[in-house]
């Protein structure tokens, strides 16, 4: 309801006062019931507009830079454009006017038509509304009038909103037409402005309380990571701190424990934790760490006196809003230029007057966007009023973010927790270091006692191991390997003399980083007297080749094979010198211990005994081997004869079958192509005739009776509906026949008798198409489900037709097994576990030897162990007479293993189904593993079960 100061009757002023009291009471209740400032301000604007009966009432809030923004608004039927969300520059409200709003709490009333501005006297909230404040009018400034006319305003009322005795904002009323305002109404608006001030104080207090709680929760979170965990989670605490301070990155530098703030830092004791975006490493001859740069220390020294840094003397926190402005950090700005870092917060960490390090937080530069009421130059003072208030968007890039006082205070608190945690962390490291030294001393004393026991135990293990075999090469390789591991040396070799008196390295075990010396012979410059000493059992330990007493050629030989120290022990067979057991140290000189020399001598003696036994055993085995050779040759001849017979039968069979399949496919293909090609024309002709019939029916809706009877006789509507469907079904049938013909041609592959790179999946799909009739449901069993899990296979070099034959054999066997299995199961079992064949393909091996693997798995009854060991024998079959020849798996094995250098594996257990794995090289020219056929679970292939 609009209230006017009219005196038409004596009851009206009473009613007006009552309405004002109701309005004031309603606003007070709303403020008390809600803490949502936006809701309160929006309701206040609506109530004031209703009270004054004006076209627009808005709440205008000042920014720290004296500009302002409309944050709440109420408009009467869109008579004026909305200004909500728009910003106004500081020049729109002169500083003099803002001072009067603040100090005198004046309210201004502008009448554009009369060119007058009225200013109310200072308002006291305890005065009665019955004694109105006087309004003093004076001429208004022409610039002000031009400003209001540009907004389309003829009447304006402005009431200030104060918060903590400072100008928080304004309540502004606009009206298109001249509209006087009663003093009572103005007083009521002033009272509402006072209530809004109370609401602002409550909302501000609530927001400050919530923000304080959030900051305390963040501080507690960081403190928990630093103090409450079993270990100090420094990295996690740094990440939480960066996130809490809205940073883009941060770093925690921990220096030496007892260095003063300006003292030298011990780089060996310093640590640096980083998170997020970081500046480039500094260029310094001392260190590339920012906090260790000398100029960083100089900057810290002058930080207290710098006017560009906000600091606290109690606990220093230095906040730099823009790193490119302070003069003291200019030396580091090149390291920040490649990044978007713009603001910096540095917290020196102190504990008990000791500088422990620095916690630094970075912030990105930001892009600001301001929506202004009218276009203007924000960098210049506004001298003339704007003529347009249309929204104008101003974007600024590369802007720095201010560090708020509450953020600095939170950083100060977090820094204290970091200081305490780091002190604890450094103390913990010192205690651990002392414990480690004590443990090392104890360990050194016990190692001497344990070494002897260890060598004795190892010697027994090696002795038992070399006596467990009579193979000389295995014995010598075992000795070399165990000696190198036991002595932790770089190379161990066994040098063997031959009948001519010369010799060479026959066995070695080396680290990967050193060169091999297998086959190397000793130089002839070794003196004869030294060789005689070795024959008598001499042991020679050379601790340093560079300083030992050696001949020049001997020293050059050892240096050529990278030897820095060596230990030589002879291996004697009776009165003959069989060879040497030698340990090489290649990285650096080594002082050989007495226990190591004694161990090597005992191993050499054991090697001599084992070699003598092995040579005697080899002589015994030679005669037996010669007798077995003829039996092996005879067995191989029989096997070759069987293979030749199998290949001959299979080759003739596949040749005839391939020619028959290809001929049938060719004969079917010609008429099918004729039918398929003419179906499109027939479809088009039918569509044209049906279109002609519709056109004729449109132009001759009443045909002669004879035509009408014929239409009813042939059921024209059904014919029109069914003819396209019939043609479509004929096309589907033709497509089906073409697919079958193509599958037959792909399966036979008569035109690809040589090895080519083909798509394995095409061959599998062709085989499935040919066997499609066997997968369908029959009267005595449901359909067999086919599951294809194809991987990413590249083209594979193979004999495509022969490989398709393998797929045919495996799939046919799986179908036969599943059909026989279903005959033995009840209908309920068939329903719960339907027959299924799964085909999976994948790539195995490494980048140099890649193989294509094909798995065909059925969930049938499986193959018993006594049958699984014979399934690859030629002519072995478990099928009834006439259903199988026993050649399928034998031929499949020859195709995969012999012709494709692959592997063919069968995995099956009773009740667990049967799985066949085929694995062939993708490129046949690559070296592959030895072909094999296994009937147990291979370790290099994943099982489907």
pLDDT-based confidence at residue 915 (cuts at 50, 70, 90): very high
Mean pLDDT, residues 176-186 taken together: 86
Q: What is the pLDDT of residue 72?
A: 93
Distances in Å between the Cα of 893 and the Cα atoms of 124, 920, 923, 927 are: 108, 12, 19, 20
Q: What is the pLDDT of residue 167?
A: 92
Q: Which residues pair with 249 in a beta bridge?
A: 276, 362
Burial class (CB in 10 A: 0-12, 13-18, 19+), 518: exposed
Q: What is the pLDDT of residue 34?
A: 72
Q: Which helix (H) or strand (E) holds 367?
A: strand 366-373
Q: What is the pLDDT of residue 575?
A: 75
Mean pLDDT, residues 141-170 taken together: 91
Q: Is 787 in a helix, a strand, or coil?
A: strand
How far apart CA 262 and CA 300 sit, in angstroms, is: 8
Q: What is the pLDDT of residue 647?
A: 58
How many H-runs (helices) and E-runs (strands) does the chain carry? 21, 28
How far apart CA 148 and CA 151 sit, in angstroms, is: 5
Q: What is the pLDDT of residue 356?
A: 83
Report yes or no: 116 and 75 within 8 Å, Cβ to Cβ: no
DSSP notation for 558-579: HHHTT-SEEEEEEEEETTEEEE
Q: Is 865 in a helix, a strand, or coil?
A: helix
Report yes or no: 347 and 360 within 8 Å, Cβ to Cβ: yes
Selection from 725, 700, 703, 722 nearest residue 712 by Cα: 703
Specify the residue for token string 């033995």. 824
pLDDT-based confidence at residue 360 (cuts at 50, 70, 90): very high
pLDDT of 304 over the 60 cut: no
Note the pLDDT tens digit of each residue in 237-296. Answer: 899 999 989 999 999 998 755 433 333 334 456 788 999 999 988 877 777 888 888 778
How far apart CA 489 and CA 584 sit, in angstroms, is: 7
pLDDT of 524 over the 70 cut: no
Angle between helices 234-244 and 183-223 (to 10 degrees): 170
- With b meaning 16 or more CB within 10 Å and e meaning fewer, what string describes 729-753? eebeebeebbebbbbbbbbbbeeee
How far apart CA 538 and CA 368 sit, in angstroms, is: 87
pLDDT of 305 over the 70 cut: no
pLDDT of 312 over the 50 cut: no
Q: What is the pLDDT of residue 839?
A: 94
Phi, psi of 527 (to 5 degrees): -60, 150
Q: What is the pLDDT of residue 256?
A: 58
pLDDT of 349 over the 60 cut: yes
Note the pLDDT tens digit of each residue in 450-479. Answer: 766 776 777 777 777 666 777 778 888 888
pLDDT of 138 over the 80 cut: yes
Mean pLDDT check: name the lowest of 687-691, 742-746, 860-864: 742-746
Q: Which helix (H) or strand (E) holds 778?
A: none
CB atoms within 10 A of CB 315: 17
Here the tokens at position 689 are 């005739």
pLDDT of 6 over the 60 cut: no
Q: What is the pLDDT of residue 126?
A: 41
Specify the residue for token string 């399949």. 661
Note the pLDDT tens digit of each residue in 676-685. Answer: 777 777 788 7
Alpha helices in 73-179, H assignment, sequence order:
95-103, 142-150
Selection from 891, 907, 905, 892 nearest residue 933 by Cα: 905
How far apart CA 503 and CA 890 sit, in angstroms, is: 50
Q: How many CA atoms lie within 13 A of 184 on its CB side?
A: 20
pLDDT of 732 over the 60 cut: yes
CA angle 615, 617, 620 (to 5 degrees): 115
Here the tokens at position 486 are 């036991």
Q: What is the pLDDT of residue 667?
A: 66
pLDDT of 941 over the 60 cut: no
pLDDT of 936 over the 70 cut: no
Here the tokens at position 160 are 């200030």
Q: Is 163 in a helix, a strand, or coil?
A: strand
How far apart CA 345 and CA 334 sit, in angstroms, is: 18
Mean pLDDT, residues 747-763 taken together: 72
Q: Which residues pair with 274 in a beta bridge?
A: 251
Burial class (CB in 10 A: 0-12, 13-18, 19+), 782: middle
> Percentage of residues in the chain with pLDDT exceeding 90?
13
pLDDT-based confidence at residue 623 (cuts at 50, 70, 90): low
Report yes or no: 854 and 790 within 8 Å, Cβ to Cβ: no
Q: What is the pLDDT of residue 4?
A: 43
Q: What is the pLDDT of residue 60?
A: 95
Note the pLDDT tens digit of each residue in 17-38. Answer: 777 777 777 777 776 677 788 8
CB under 8 Å, gap of 24 or more: what pairs does 116-124 form? 116/140, 117/141, 117/144, 120/183, 120/186, 120/190, 123/187, 123/190
Report yes or no: 592 and 629 within 8 Å, Cβ to Cβ: no
What is the β-pairing status of strands 56-62 and 68-75?
antiparallel
Q: What is the pLDDT of residue 249?
A: 94
Handedness of CA 593, 594, 600, 604 (dihedral sign): positive
């Amino acid at each position: 309801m609009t209230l006017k100061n009219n005196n038409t009757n004596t009851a009206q002023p009473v009613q007006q006062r009552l309405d004002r009291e109701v309005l004031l009471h309603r606003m007070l209740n709303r403020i008390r019931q809600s803490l949502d400032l936006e809701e309160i301000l929006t309701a206040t604007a609506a109530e004031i507009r209703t009270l004054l009966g004006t076209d627009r009432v808005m709440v205008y809030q000042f920014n720290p830079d004296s500009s302002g923004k409309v944050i709440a608004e109420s408009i009467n039927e869109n008579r004026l454009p909305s200004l909500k969300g728009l910003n106004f520059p500081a020049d729109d409200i002169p500083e003099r006017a803002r001072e009067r709003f603040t100090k005198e709490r004046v309210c201004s009333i502008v009448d554009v038509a009369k060119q007058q501005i009225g200013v109310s006297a200072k308002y006291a909230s305890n005065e009665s509304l019955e004694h109105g404040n006087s309004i003093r009018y004076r001429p208004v400034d022409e610039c002000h009038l031009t400003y209001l006319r540009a907004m389309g305003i003829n009447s304006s009322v402005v009431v200030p909103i104060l918060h903590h005795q400072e100008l928080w904002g304004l309540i502004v009323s606009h009206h298109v037409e001249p509209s006087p305002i009663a003093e009572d109404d103005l007083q009521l608006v002033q009272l509402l402005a006072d209530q809004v001030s109370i609401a602002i104080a409550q909302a501000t207090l609530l927001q400050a309380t919530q923000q304080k709680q959030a900051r305390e929760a963040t501080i507690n979170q960081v403190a928990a990571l630093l103090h409450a965990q079993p270990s100090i989670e420094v990295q996690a605490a740094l990440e939480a701190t960066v996130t809490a301070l809205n940073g883009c990155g941060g770093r925690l530098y921990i220096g030496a424990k007892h260095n003063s703030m300006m003292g030298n830092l011990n780089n060996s004791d310093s640590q640096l934790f980083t998170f997020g975006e970081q500046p480039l490493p500094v260029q310094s001859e001392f260190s590339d760490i920012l906090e260790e740069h000398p100029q960083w220390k100089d900057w810290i020294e002058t930080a207290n006196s710098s006017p560009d840094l906000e600091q606290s003397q109690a606990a220093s926190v230095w906040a730099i809003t823009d790193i490119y402005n302070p003069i003291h950090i200019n030396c580091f700005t090149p390291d920040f230029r490649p990044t978007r870092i713009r603001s910096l917060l540095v917290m020196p960490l102190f504990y008990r007057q000791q500088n422990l390090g620095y916690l630094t937080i970075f912030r990105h530069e930001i892009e600001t966007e301001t929506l202004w009421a009218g276009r203007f130059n924000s960098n210049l003072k506004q001298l003339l009023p704007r003529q347009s208030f249309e929204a104008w968007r101003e974007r600024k890039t590369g802007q720095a973010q201010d560090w708020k006082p509450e953020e600095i205070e939170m950083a100060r608190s977090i820094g204290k927790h970091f200081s305490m945690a780091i002190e604890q962390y450094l103390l913990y490291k010192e205690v651990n270091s002392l414990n480690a030294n004590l443990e090392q001393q104890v360990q050194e004393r016990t190692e001497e006692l344990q070494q002897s026991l260890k060598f004795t135990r190892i010697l027994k293990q090696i002795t038992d191991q070399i006596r467990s075999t009579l193979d000389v090469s295995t014995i010598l390789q075992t000795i070399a390997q165990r000696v190198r591991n036991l002595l932790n040396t770089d190379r161990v070799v066994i040098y063997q003399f031959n009948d001519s008196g010369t010799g060479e390295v026959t066995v070695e075990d080396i680290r990967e980083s050193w060169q091999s010396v297998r086959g190397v012979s000793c130089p002839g410059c070794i003196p004869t007297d030294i060789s005689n000493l070795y024959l008598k059992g001499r042991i020679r330990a050379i601790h340093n080749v560079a300083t030992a007493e050696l001949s020049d050629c001997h020293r050059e030989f050892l240096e050529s094979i990278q030897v820095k120290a060596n230990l030589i022990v002879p291996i004697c067979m009776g009165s003959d010198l069989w060879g040497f057991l030698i340990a090489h140290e290649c990285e650096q000189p080594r002082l050989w211990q007495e226990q190591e020399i004694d161990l090597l001598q005992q191993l050499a003696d054991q090697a001599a005994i084992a070699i003598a036994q092995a040579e005697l055993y080899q002589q015994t085995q030679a005669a037996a081997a010669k007798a077995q050779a003829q039996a092996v040759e005879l067995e191989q001849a029989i096997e070759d004869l069987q293979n030749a017979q199998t290949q001959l039968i299979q080759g003739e069979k596949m040749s005839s079958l391939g020619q028959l399949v290809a001929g049938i496919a060719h004969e079917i293909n010609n008429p099918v192509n004729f039918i398929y090609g003419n179906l499109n024309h027939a479809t088009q002709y039918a569509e044209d005739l049906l279109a002609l019939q519709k056109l004729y029916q449109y132009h001759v809706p009443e045909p002669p009776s004879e035509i009408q009877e014929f239409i009813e006789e042939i059921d024209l509507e059904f014919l029109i509906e069914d003819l396209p469907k019939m043609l479509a079904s004929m096309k589907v049938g033709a497509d089906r026949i073409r697919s079958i013909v193509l599958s037959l041609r792909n399966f036979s592959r008569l035109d690809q008798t040589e090895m080519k790179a083909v798509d394995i999946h095409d061959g599998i799909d062709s085989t499935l198409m040919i066997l499609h009739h066997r997968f369908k449901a029959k009267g005595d069993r449901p359909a067999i489900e086919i599951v294809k899990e194809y991987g990413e296979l590249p083209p594979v070099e193979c004999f495509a037709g022969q490989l398709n034959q393998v797929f045919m054999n495996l799939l046919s066997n799986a179908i036969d097994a599943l059909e026989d299995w279903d005959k033995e199961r009840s209908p309920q079992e068939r329903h719960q576990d339907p027959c299924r064949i799964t085909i999976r393909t994948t790539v195995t091996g490494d980048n140099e030897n890649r193989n294509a693997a094909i798995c065909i798995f059925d969930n049938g009854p499986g193959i018993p162990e006594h049958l699984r060991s014979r399934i690859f024998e030629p002519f072995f079959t478990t099928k009834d007479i006439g259903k199988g020849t026993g050649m399928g798996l034998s031929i499949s094995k020859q195709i995969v293993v012999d012709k494709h250098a692959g592997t063919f594996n069968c995995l099956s257990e009773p009740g667990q189904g049967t799985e066949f794995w085929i694995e062939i090289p993708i490129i046949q020219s690559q070296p592959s593993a030895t072909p094999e056929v296994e009937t147990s679970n291979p370790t290099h292939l994943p099982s489907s079960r």
